[in-house]
Structure 1
Amino acid sequence: MDFDNDEGATIATLYIERTEHGYAMRIDQHSDDYLLVTGALQPPALEPAAYEMDEEYRAQQMMLLHEGLHEVRREYAEHVFFYDEGDPFAFDPGNYVFMPAAGRDGSCFAIEERYARGTDWEDDERVPIGWDWVEKGPALMPDGSTQMRPQAEGTSLPSDIERLIDRARTWAREQSERAAAEEAVERELFQARLREGRGRSI
């Protein structure tokens, strides 16, 4: 569903998908104006659903996520930087983080592991019960300044791992395509300057 401004230009496209626990809403914004979204309920608590999944299954899905994210890293390594040893307690945006390789402006797609209450943080073999994810990007504020703001965020159960990997892949692909387009423009400008310089030397 498209939403237009008073001039008839589309400012956002809204997608709503049915999920196992309700509905997921995705917004593709087509303008640089600050878009405030209000009224959404918080994601359901993970524990009841996650505890129904045994630890072996959760560990299997954890490895699937790890391998899937590294596959995304390899596919878009030219334009996207990735690390998987982030520490949210040390101000990293997540345990897994994708960032634009060229400009570290704060844009990122980050995934943070969620654990059951009472988890022993010294246990190296602890297994998450789910994952929080957030996509951050620049947003134009009412005063004309630009600040990093969440563009989308959510929570994934172990059974939603494939969808979470797809989200990361979509973010990486969009960043890669944007970077490639900017590089193409820069190459064209460089070639134009070379042609102009040769023309003057004749």
Structure 2
Amino acid sequence: MDGPDFTLEEAAGARHGVIVAGVDEVGRGPLAGPVYAAAVVLDPALIPPGLDDSKKLTAAKRAALHDAICEMAVVSVASATVEEIDTLNILRASHLAMCRAVAGLPHMPRLALVDGNLLPADLPCAGQAVIKGDGLSLSIAAASIVAKFRRDCVMQDLAQHYPDYGWQTNMGYPSKSHRSALQKYGVTPYHRRSFKPVHNILYQDKNQSD
């Protein structure tokens, strides 16, 4: 079968009342903005049709599925700030956002299916790392859609305050236009100073002022 299914959730007992959450994060690659994570517990009898890896969906489809997921499933969303990313590093900040999302669920899952090859060290329940999980597990796919939609909304809002960087379309990722704007307009409070392109501009500006 193409696309994600409910096999991993069923193996963990999801159809017998066991709480199984899918967990995914969005925003590890951008030069700006927070990293977002979502934890989603699907109702086996009410799974929205069309769930897939968020990267394979159009923005309109993600928005519609986000609303359907929030209506039919139990959803928790969390983030880690730019300051936390720069302090901890992006991997640990992503894991922090995941842990916060799981902890925010009204009932602790028996198992969290976590996208990727590493489990967060502080995950508040048992976990299973699932490589390319957003293409395998419906719960992880749902989490990827929710996290992507919520983060995109934040970046589109920030773009209203910092219109020169194109965040409404590039979402903070290092597109050519975003990198050019960084060179031209400098670094905002929402840029990740620990990321090399941003760090280099700050270092370059410091050298020029010395």
Shorter-chain TM-score: what band? under 0.3
Higher relative contact order (CA 8 A, sep 6+): 2
TM-score (norm 1): 0.26
- Bigger fraction of residues in helix: 2
TM-score (norm 2): 0.25
